[in-house]
Amino acid sequence: MTIEYEKYDGLGLASLIKNGEVSPVELIESAITRIEELNPSLNAVIHKMYDSAQESLKNLDKSLPFAGVPILLKNAQQEVKGHPMTLGSKILSNYISDVDAEYVTRLKKTGTIILGQTNVPEFALLAVTEPRHYGPTRNPWNLNHTPGGSSGGSAAAVASGMVPMAGGNDGGGSIRIPAAFTGLFGLKPTRGRTPVGPGKGRAWQGASVDHILSKSVRDSAAMLDETHGYERTAAFHAPEFIGSYLNLVNSPLERNLKIAFTCESPLGTPVHAECKKAVLQTVKSLEDMGFEIEEKEPRIDGNRLAESYMTMYFGEVAAALANTGEIIGRKVTMKDVEPVTWLLNQLGNKVTAGEFVQAMQMWDHSAIEMEAFHEEYTFYITPATAYPPSRIGELDQTGGEKMLMKAVGMLNAGGLLKKTGFVDELATKSLERTPFTQLANLSGQPAISLPLHLTEDNLPCGVQVMAARGREDLLFRLAGDLEKSSLWIRR
């Protein structure tokens, strides 16, 4: 190829194919070459699907919006028939999907060519991608740092130019956190906007939604145009959208809109100066553009919200291991999974029905409060994360924590831990570096991470923007405005 493959976004590559400047075969060969060159250093791709990709090229419809464009899928929820779905865990090493996920079915109909699956933390549980089974994924901006999680492999793949976009899902920030750490655009759509089936009606009780991480705003908008819509078996359905998200990217917003922002953590924990700087320079730019800016937070108890999130988190892990046991034909044991996964499982098995219902009530309370908040403020801006990307291994458990987790696992002492206050400490430690993203998952709102700041260490630091449920259109228009600004990171 004579073009510089890695500099194009997805729609740009599709345009080259439509215009006859490159062939789909050449494009896929370029993507494979780049993956093979970079993956040994980044460890972003853990399963390659080159043979099936070549088969997909044989009947390619070049009229499709992303015809011939290479894409990678996340090794969680985005199942492809005939290929593994390990969720980053050795216990599922032999599991092969027998059906395409509905989201993958819709992706295929866009003309994209799937080249493989990307790395995730075990069971996609953490905000860093360092599974024991596959090893850590590294950030293309600095190989000593994490690209975040749980869609960390996808983020590293896109940021390094392996592919222009990659699949992700977001149940507590798993699209937005990696996007923030790697200088990408990341949208978590409204609950129910994209499909979760077949075989299930919800993902993480409605907290988790599938979409992509991308270089450009327009790729994200165009892909949502193609993948959103009613799913008959889904438990939740987003407000109907009629029109084209892509057409809105270049439609400037009215300048009289009110925007609220905060730099303070909802947990009352510290926020790094670089993350605050990212927000403050963004709102200053928006104010200069004519928007009305006010420092304001919604009336939501951040610690209670975090507790409700962790209650779901514990329960989902316990259910995931129980379901895994059905797949492998025996109960999952402590030796089968990582210590953190087993601890979360132990805690999940001690959550009562009453506690779970109260957690869901807190989600509903937050959703109602945010609907009222957005009646006055069109957007709510926060840091995407409270800290820049951590170093690989920096967040590993201490020796004492490892001993405690081992003891809890051996003694089945999850209930005792709940009584000691350890769970509250675990919630704070788990979320203190990423306390801003969970709100949108629990309230069901759309939220984006925008690449608007580089730290003094030359690491990306994202800015989060939330809008009312069903208003991805507003987020795409704001993102389109900011993508043209000098703040936007251009690697």
One-letter amino acid of 283: V
Catalytic residue among 30, 56, 89, 150: 150
Q: What is the DSSP string of 232-292?
A: TT-S--PPP--S-HHHHTTSPPPTT-EEEE--S-TTS----HHHHHHHHHHHHHHHHTT-E
Neighbours of 109 (CB within 10 A): 14
Tokens of 75: 């090794």
How far apart, in whole angstroms, are the C-alpha atoms of residue 486 and residue 491? 13
CB 35 within 8 A of CB 45: yes
For the question of residue 215 being annotated catalytic, the response is no
Q: What is the DSSP letter of 145?
A: B
Q: What is the DSSP letter of 212?
A: E
CA-CA distances (angstroms) from residue 437 to 189, 302, 432?
13, 11, 11
How far apart, in whole angstroms, are the C-alpha atoms of residue 163 and residue 215? 9
Three-state DSSP at 71 gives strand
CB 291 within 8 A of CB 259: yes
How far apart, in whole angstroms, are the C-alpha atoms of residue 338 and residue 336? 7
Catalytic residue among 56, 74, 160, 366: 74
Catalytic residue among 56, 154, 160, 174: 174
- β-pair type (165-170, 258-261): unpaired
How far apart, in whole angstroms, are the C-alpha atoms of residue 344 and residue 479? 36
Three-state DSSP at 151 gives coil
Strand partners, 293: 259
For the question of residue 56 being annotated catalytic, the response is no
For the question of residue 74 being annotated catalytic, the response is yes
Active site residues: 74, 150, 174
